[in-house]
Structure 1
C-alpha cells in the first residue's frame, strides 16, 4: 500500500492516514492455486481530495513494474448500485449487439456513440473521464 500511494500521490501524503482492511475470509486449506489468488482490500481515504488524487494518477501504475500491472482499482459501490450497474451493462450490451453503435455507460447513464467496424470511436464524447465506464466487446 505504501508503494501504491507513493506512485499515485507523488509523496503528497502519508499512507498511515489510510484505513486498510482485507475483505473475505482466509481459506483454511490453501492449495497452490488459492495462494495465487489474493483477497481484495478496502481502502478508506481520510477525505475526498486524497481519493480523487489517487484515482486521477492511476495511469502511472502501469509503467511502475510487475506488481502494479495486474492490480484493479475502482470506486466502491453499495450492493444496490452494483446491481443497477450490472443491469445497465446488460442493457447496453443488448442494444449494441449487431449494430454499428456502441452504448457506453457514463456515470450510470447510457449514451450512444457511432463506431466503425473495428470498434474505434468516430465521435468524441464530452463526458468527464473520471466517472466513465466503457463496455468493450
Structure 2
C-alpha cells in the first residue's frame, strides 16, 4: 500500500519539474509567470517529497489495515488537491473551487494525525526495524 504514495510522490515531482520548465520558458520569452502557477508548483513539489517520505514511514511506523488505507488515500488526495485547486481554480478562473482547498488540507492534516497516533501507540521496540547483522559496504 505504500507503492501508491511513492509513485504519487515521484509523479508529482515530475509534474512539478515540467511546470517549472514551462515557467522558465515564460520567463525566457519575456513574460511574467502568474502567481497561481508559482504557488501550485511550490506546493506540489514539497507535498510530493513528503509523499515519498510517507511511503517509507508508513511501514516503518507499522501503520496497517484501515488506518494505512486512510493515510494513503487522504495524503494522495491532499497532495494533488491543494495544487490542483490553485491551478484550476485560479488558472482556469473557476473560483468556486477555491474553498475545496480546506477539504484537501484537512485530508493532509488527518493523515498526519493518524501517523502521530500510530507513532505514539506502537511498541517502541519495532521502530526502525531490527539490525540485520549485515556489515555495510565501504563504497
> Which TM-score tier does this pair reach, normalised by the shorter chain?
under 0.3
Q: TM-score, normalised by structure 2?
A: 0.25
Q: TM-score, normalised by structure 1?
A: 0.25
Comparing both structures, which one devotes a greater share of its residues to strand?
1
